[in-house]
Amino acid sequence: MKIIVGLGNPEEKYIKTFHNMGYIAVGDVAAKLNVKFKKKECESFTAEANIGGEKIILARPVTYMNNSGRAVKQLLSRYKASAEDLVIIYDDYDIPKGSVRIRPSGSAGTHNGMRSVIAEIGTSAFVRIRVGIRDSMVDIPIINYVLSEVRKEDYELFISACNRAADAAIALAKGEAIESVMTKYNG
């Protein structure tokens, strides 16, 4: 089993913001697996897929970014899963825009949503897929930047990055080794 969670904010006004890269990418996973987010459980909208006999739960928490850990903890409990079964996709201001980085574990960095997840589940030993959003040409406070809309000239770059993040999540769900996925999709 894998639980793939895309972090973001649930309101319409946040849909095209940098902070919703996780929501967008997990939506891409759902589209590629031909499933829809139909169910509301564990403070999340969820979809269920099956890959080679393995159950895959896709989730978009509705707790807002800073409380994402609450929903993740509930999902792990509901599906009797462990952190080893978890893949979190999220935006990361610490890496350049349009890049994708997969890691088997790590710190939260500057990301409050990840701080919440780590605090709630009590470990940082889970796979994370980060979509880079930092633009060295923009000089505004991080909170203002992450909640701003992606500029039109960058739209295709971020669509491509979210698509690569989705492909990486699917590869992990299929049982591909993390090292192989990192080699293929990091960059």
Radius of gyration of the chain from its Cα atoms, rounded to whole angstroms: 15
Cα 88 from chain centre: 4
Say which of 2, 19, 70, 134 is annotated catalytic.
19
Best CA proximity match to 68, nearest among 115, 105, 133: 115
Coil, helix or strand at residue 133: strand
Best CA proximity match to 75, nearest among 62, 66, 92, 65: 62
Residue owning tokens 């996780």: 22
| Residue 19 among the catalytic residues | yes
Residues annotated as catalytic are 19
